[in-house]
């Protein structure tokens, strides 16, 4: 089950657009393809998503897989790593922030100039779903994350017993979020399945805000 849900909620725009589908997602207020990054080459320097979530969720694996790197051997992230990727003409400086419990109190130190937050969930870790919900909700009230686009990757959908996107959406109480544009995307970091639709949506949403601001 790799259902995808769009929920566009913000303090300035109270309209809500939700769409669930298997293969494609359309944004309610703009076309399917999103803005052309060639219009403003300087835009690339503004895209700085941060990736976090609980430990062992698959954050580093997702970034390595998306970048075409080997994912057979992954070590836990201690502190943070910065990975620079290029996609659709955009340059992404993605911060991979460690999720160990001892590091979570320091998360807020990494959120300066954050355009988007990629929150990675271990869909097979049912026992820590409440912990995951609590940590995510506490992050969303951080002033430095105000207005940042939120992409939730429901990772490890390839594992037996993985929760569906709908179940995770309910467990994380995503429908209560009114301060951020968000989307939940089922994926597998190991196989690479459905990583691209999530990243594409993230880019479209961030760039639409930047173009609108300009």
Q: Which residues pair with 121 in a beta bridge?
A: 154
Question: Is position 11 annotated as part of the catalytic site?
Answer: no
Ligand-binding annotation for 157, yes or no, is yes
Asked if residue 145 belongs to a known ligand binding site, the reply is no
DSSP letters of 33-100? S---GGG-GGGGGG---EEEESTTS-HHHHHHHHTT---SS-PPPSSEEEEEEEETTEEEEEEEE---
Neighbours of 95 (CB within 10 A): 19
According to the annotation, is 59 in a ligand binding site? yes
User: Does 156 appear as a known binding residue?
Assistant: yes
The one catalytic residue in 11, 100, 130, 133 is 100
Q: How many alpha carbons lie under 13 Å from residue 67 in its C-beta half-sphere?
A: 18
Q: Is 54 annotated as a binding residue?
A: yes
Query: What phi-psi label fits residue 51: left (phi over 0), alpha (psi between -120 and 50 degrees) or beta?
Result: beta
Say if residue 77 carries a ligand binding annotation.
yes
Flag whether 60 is marked binding.
Answer: yes
64 marked among binding-site residues: no
Binding site listing: 53-60, 77, 99, 155-158
Binding site listing for Mg(2+): 60, 77
Binding site listing for GTP: 53-60, 99, 155-158
Q: Which residues are catalytic?
A: 100
């Amino acid at each position: 089950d790799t259902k995808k849900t769009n929920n566009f909620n913000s303090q300035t725009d109270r309209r809500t657009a939700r769409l669930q589908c298997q293969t494609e997602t359309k944004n309610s207020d703009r076309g399917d393809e999103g803005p052309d990054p060639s219009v403003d080459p300087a835009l690339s320097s503004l895209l700085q998503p941060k990736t976090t979530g609980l430990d062992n969720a698959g954050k580093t694996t997702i970034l390595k897989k998306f970048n075409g790197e080997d994912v057979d051997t992954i070590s836990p992230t201690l502190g943070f790593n910065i990975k620079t990727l290029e996609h659709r003409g955009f340059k992404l400086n993605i911060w991979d922030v460690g999720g160990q419990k001892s590091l979570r109190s320091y998360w807020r130190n990494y959120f300066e100039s954050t355009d988007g937050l990629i929150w990675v969930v271990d869909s097979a870790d049912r026992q820590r779903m409440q912990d995951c919900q609590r940590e995510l909700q506490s992050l969303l009230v951080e002033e430095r994350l105000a207005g940042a686009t939120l992409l939730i990757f429901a990772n490890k959908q390839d594992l037996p017993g993985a929760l569906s996107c709908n179940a995770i959406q309910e467990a994380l109480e995503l429908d209560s979020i009114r301060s951020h544009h968000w989307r939940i995307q089922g994926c597998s970091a190991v196989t690479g399945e459905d990583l691209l639709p999530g990243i594409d949506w993230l880019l479209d949403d961030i760039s639409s805000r930047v173009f609108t601001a300009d």
